[in-house]
Structures are given as structure tokens and as C-alpha cells.
Amino acid sequence: MRHSSDDLPLALYSATQVRALDAALIAVGTPGFELMRRAAHAIWRALRREWPDAGALTVLAGHGNNAGDGYLIAALAQRAGWQARVLAVGEPQRLQGDAARACDEARAAGVEVRAWQADAQPQGVLVDALLGTGLAGEVREPHAAAIEWINRSGCPVLAVDIPSGICADTGQVLGAAVKAQLTVTLIGLKLGLYLGSALDHVGRLVFDSLQADPQIVSHQQAAAWRLAGDLLPLVPARQPTTHKGQLGHLLVVGGDQGTGGAALLSAQSALRGGAGMVSLATRAEHVGAAQARLPEVMSLAVASANQLHALADKVTVWVVGPGLGQAAWGRSLLSAAAASGGAQVWDADALNLLAAGAVRIAPGSVITPHPGEAARLLGISIAALQADRPAAARALARRYEVVCVLKGAGTLVADPVGRLLVCDRGDPVMAGAGLGDVLAGLIGALIAQGCSAWQAACLGVWVHACAGESLAHKGNGLAAGDLCDAIRHLLEERAACRK
Ligand SMILES: NC(=O)C1=CN([C@@H]2O[C@H](COP(=O)(O)OP(=O)(O)OC[C@H]3O[C@@H](n4cnc5c(N)ncnc54)[C@H](O)[C@@H]3O)[C@@H](O)[C@H]2O)[C@H](O)CC1
Ligand SMILES: [K+]
């Protein structure tokens, strides 16, 4: 499981932006080879910290500057008394410029450099210096075979800058990708390191700025930002005189015949998330269970939208969709919510009805699709959506003029003006039923307490993920109700530290 590391920078860059950073640093007087030398030292330090007694390493080198880093790492290891060798993949004669100079330096240090063959014996720590930010398209042979060789070796693996085969912009595997235990990334964090399949390939992540001029790095308009650090201070403060009327009235609308649980979970989460008053508009069959399980929630048996119209002016925020279904009952309630003028958080079937064009969503609302719902909203396949999650999140935010929370490994939060945040907290244990209902209720609760849609989405995603992390020890099959309690605990900790 990856732990967020708060000493990592917040800004996340595309491959193009990082190459521009490299060029900008070189332009202000740091030679490319000096950057490469610093990279090698940073990586060699991280390697020795991780595997101090290995005594041997094998660099798999491609043809570009990623390979150049690898050759210089081998030279440092050889000079430190380790047994270092480089297996050159493809035609080493294609090395140019700084990378060719780095190869010469490795040979001069006594490093054995020879062509990689599929029957080569892996030895010591494997250093993946095949491909970095220069990867273009699906990995070609013989690099793909070398990647499979690394992954089958059973040896510890360090990836230079980014695991070879991982797209630096989307985190997607382009044909084949190295699975590393440790990735040392340089100058700027790449957005792709936090998305999708990359999470299964990066291992522990170490960053080194190579003493890059912060003036330059900060000037670049980052592709995205990490949701990192302690966001709990953003939770609206409560004064001693605060009363529930100041903490908003949240209405959950959902739970058609047979699907009452989802709406109940959203209501429970809204309660634990601190909303002043929580009501639940659901089918009559679920009211008994709701009252028994959540007596604090005002549960209403709703047969038609008229009953919601009567409520509308008392409701601060509507959380619509959990267990709503897509039949006439659900459609009519969703239309009432859309016409209410209150803040909206739409999830699950509300999004499917939106995708079907059955209703329009008010600008400034929050939507919380999982990849399937997002693909339907965009009219694309899930595979196409997952191939570039940042683009999908941004497209949804712009198309509907909403804050879009695109759930999944590396949950994204996008707004219509182009802001994009990535959550690198959470745990695979959270891949379970009902956790989306909990997130929707939590985001609604934060809006009820005064957060903007953007703040509530970012903070809700972060609190939800951190609460899930705190339950990782429970193993798979995390109960959504436990997550609600963990969220309450996290927010109570926050309230306590404010006293
Ligand atoms: N001064 C700097 O720029 C620094 C860069 N650092 C390291 O350099 C790499 C980026 O190097 P670059 O030469 O731009 O590209 P790569 O080494 O990643 O790869 C280019 C290399 O790979 C071949 N190639 C591209 N796509 C494919 C493919 N699909 N299949 C097979 N082969 C492919 C291409 O032909 C080239 O030969 C960066 O990641 C850093 O590691 C330093 O760290 C800092 C200074
Ligand atoms: K690499």
C-alpha cells in the first residue's frame, strides 16, 4: 500500500512540462550533464538506503537520458566497491550527447557494459533505466522483452524517474511496464505516477529536485496538484455557541424498492460528517429500518415529488442518487431536486439519469461518478476513460459546469475552470460496496456546514481516503458503516486539536 508522503511537492507535471523544466534549468546555466550527475547521486543514495547490503546492481539501459542516469549510477556503484554492470537494450551505439558521455564514464570506472540478451542472468538490484519521460507510444521490442525479463527476475527493482512503460501523463501501462519496489523521480513530480495502473508499478516514491531553482519549478503551470498535507483545518470550525441550525439541513433522496441501504449509508455519513440536520426521503418500506438505525435522521416516506417541493425551502443541500433507481419514482424526485435551487451532490442513479438526458443539473453542483458512470456521462468506453482519467474528469466538469469527483485509484477532483487535484491517500481495502454512498453524504455534509462545492469535494475525498486508510488493518470487505465511524473519529480529532 502506498503511503502519502507529505515531504513530496504538491505540484504534478506532465511529461512535456517536466521536459520544459529540464530545458529551463539548462537555459539558466545548469548543464544537462550536471543534472544527470545530480540525478545519479540522488538515485544512488536512495538505492543504498533501501538495499544497503546488496553489493551488486544491474542497470538495464535504453538509449536516452534515462539510460544516461543509469550509466552514471553504475559508475558510482562501481567506485563504491559494488559489482556494477550495464545491460544495454537495443543498439547502444544510438546513445548520443550526455547519455553517450555517461556511458564512457561508466566504462572508465570499470563497469562491465554489454548487450542485454534474454538469457542474461539478473544480478543484485535491477535499475530500470530503459525509458523515462521520453516514452512515446506502446513500448517497442526489445524494450518490452527487457521489461518482462525485469518483472520475472525476482530481484529488487528501482525505477529511474518513472517505471518504464508507464505514461507520465495518465499512469497507463503502454504495452508493458516495470513493477518497481522503489521509484526515484526527479526535478518535478509526474502526474502519471499518481494515476490508475501506475499505483501498481511505482512502489515507494522518492523525489529529488536536483537542486532545481524553485523559481523555475514553481513558475510552471502544473498539470495538477496533490491533495496532501493536513486538510482537516479546512473543516468548518464550530464555536461554543454554534447550534445545529447553523450547520445546514441535508436531505438524502434515494432508496427505491429493494435498494434502501445505499440511501441509509449516505444519511449516516452525512450525520457523521457533521451536518446540522439530516433528512431522508425514501420509499415507505425503508422508513422503519432508517428510524431504527438512525433515529437522529428525519426519515420521510415519499411517494411523489410533490412532497419534496414542500420541503425545498428548508433544505440547504440535496444528496441525490443512492439507490434511487431509474424508474418514474426516481426520475420525478430527481427533477424536484434539480428544480429546488438548493446545492446538489449527485451520485449513482442520479448520474445515470443525467447521462440519459432525463434531467439537467444546476451549474456549481458536485457529481461523484465511478468510472462506469463517468463513461456513460461522456458517451465513451470505460477503457477510453481510464486511458486518460485527468482528461475525463476535466471534460465532465466543463460539460456540466460542475465539480467532478472521478472515483477510483488516485481519485481526481476537477472544476470547470481547469483545476485538477489528485488524492494519493486511501487503500485497496476501500474497493467495496457502499463507500461511494458514504462519500456523497460526507461531501454534502461539508457543503451543509458552509464549504464551497470545490472545498467540500476536495476535503471530502481526502477525509474519506484517510478514514479508509485508518481501517486498512481490517482487511478486505470493509463495512461502509465502519467507514462512517472512522470519518467521525477523524473529524472529532480535528475538533479536539482546535480547542
Ligand atoms: N537534462 C535532462 O533532460 C535530464 C533528464 N533526465 C532523465 O532523462 C529522461 C528523459 O530522457 P529522454 O532522452 O528525453 O527520453 P528517455 O530516456 O525517456 O527515452 C527516450 C529513448 O527511448 C526511446 N523510446 C521512446 N519511446 C519508445 C517506445 N515506445 N519503445 C521503445 N523505445 C522508445 C527513444 O527512441 C529514445 O531513444 C528523464 O526521464 C530522466 O530520467 C535526468 O534525470 C535529469 C536531466
Ligand atoms: K525508467
Write out pLDDT tens, residues 167-184: 999 999 999 999 999 999
Q: Are residues 73 and 144 in the same domain?
A: yes
Report which protein residue has its CA nearest ligand 1's atom 29.
139
Distance CA 436, CA 440 (A): 6
Report which protein residue has its CA nearest ligand 1's atom 25.
135
Percent pLDDT > 90 in the chain is 83
Q: How far is the CA of 187 from the centre of ligand 2 (A)?
A: 14
Instruction: Out of 174, 207, 224, pick the residue that ends a domain.
Output: 224
User: 323 labelled as ligand-binding?
Assistant: yes
Report which protein residue has its CA nearest ligand 1's atom 36.
64
Q: Are residues 301 and 445 in the same domain?
A: yes
| pLDDT reported for residue 462 | 94
For residue 466, what is its C-alpha cell? 484517510
Instruction: Out of 196, 224, 252, pick the residue that ends a domain.
Output: 224
**Between the CA of residue 233 and those of 27, 252, 375, 436, 495, what are the distances in Å?**
40, 26, 34, 24, 9
| pLDDT reported for residue 228 | 80
Question: Which one has a higher pLDDT value, 473 or 123?
Answer: 123
| pLDDT reported for residue 231 | 78
pLDDT tens for 3-33 read 556 678 889 999 999 999 999 999 999 999 9
Which residue type does 400 have?
Answer: Y
> Kind and range of the H or E element at 46?
helix 32-50
| pLDDT reported for residue 196 | 87
User: 128 labelled as ligand-binding?
Assistant: yes
**CB neighbourhood size of 219 (10 A):** 10
Q: Are residues 353 and 334 in the same domain?
A: yes
Nearest to 409 by CA among 383, 427, 388: 427
| pLDDT reported for residue 94 | 83
Tell me the whole-structure pTM to 2 decimals. Answer: 0.92
Residue 6 lies in a domain: no
3-state class of 59 per DSSP? strand
Nearest to 106 by CA among 131, 84, 136, 128: 84
Ligand 1 binding pocket, CB closer than 6 Å: 22, 32, 35-36, 39, 62-67, 69, 131-140, 143, 160-161, 186
User: 180 labelled as ligand-binding?
Assistant: no
Q: Are residues 205 and 261 in the same domain?
A: no
Q: Are residues 176 and 279 in the same domain?
A: no
pLDDT tens for 139-177 read 999 999 999 999 999 999 999 999 999 999 999 999 999
3-state class of 420 per DSSP? strand
Average pLDDT over residues 455-483: 89
Average pLDDT over residues 429-433: 81
Q: Are residues 251 and 212 in the same domain?
A: no
What confidence category does residue 429 fall into, taking pLDDT thresholds of 50, 70 and 90? confident
Residue 28 lies in a domain: yes
Average pLDDT over residues 317-322: 98
3-state class of 166 per DSSP? strand
Q: Supply the CATH number for residue 477's domain.
A: 3.40.1190.20
| pLDDT reported for residue 386 | 93
Counting the structural domains of the chain, the total is 2
Q: Are residues 126 and 35 in the same domain?
A: yes
Is it the case that residue 409 has pLDDT exceeding 80? yes
Q: Are residues 244 and 352 in the same domain?
A: yes
| pLDDT reported for residue 1 | 39
Domain that holds residue 323: 230-493
Specify the range with the lowest mean pLDDT, choosing from 224-238, 317-331, 475-489: 224-238
Kindly report the average pLDDT of the chain as a whole number: 93
Residue 498 lies in a domain: no
For residue 243, what is its C-alpha cell? 447550534
Q: Are residues 354 and 427 in the same domain?
A: yes
Q: Are residues 259 and 323 in the same domain?
A: yes
| Number of H-type helices and E-type strands within the chain | 17, 19
Average pLDDT over residues 353-365: 97
Give Dmax over CA atoms of the chain in angstroms. Answer: 83
Place of cell 542497470: 59
Distance CA 466, CA 109 (A): 47
Q: How far is the CA of 23 from the centre of ligand 2 (A)?
A: 19
Nearest to 126 by CA among 209, 43, 193, 187: 43
The answer to whether the complex's ipTM is over 0.95 is yes
For residue 471, what is its C-alpha cell? 481501517
Distance CA 191, CA 167 (A): 9
Note the Cα 217 to chain centre separation in Å: 22
**Between the CA of residue 484 and those of 295, 467, 475, what are the distances in Å?**
16, 8, 17
Q: For the chain, how are helix, strand and coil distributed in percent, rounded to 5?
A: 45, 15, 40
Average pLDDT over residues 407-433: 90
Which atom of ligand 1 lies closest to the CA of 136? 26
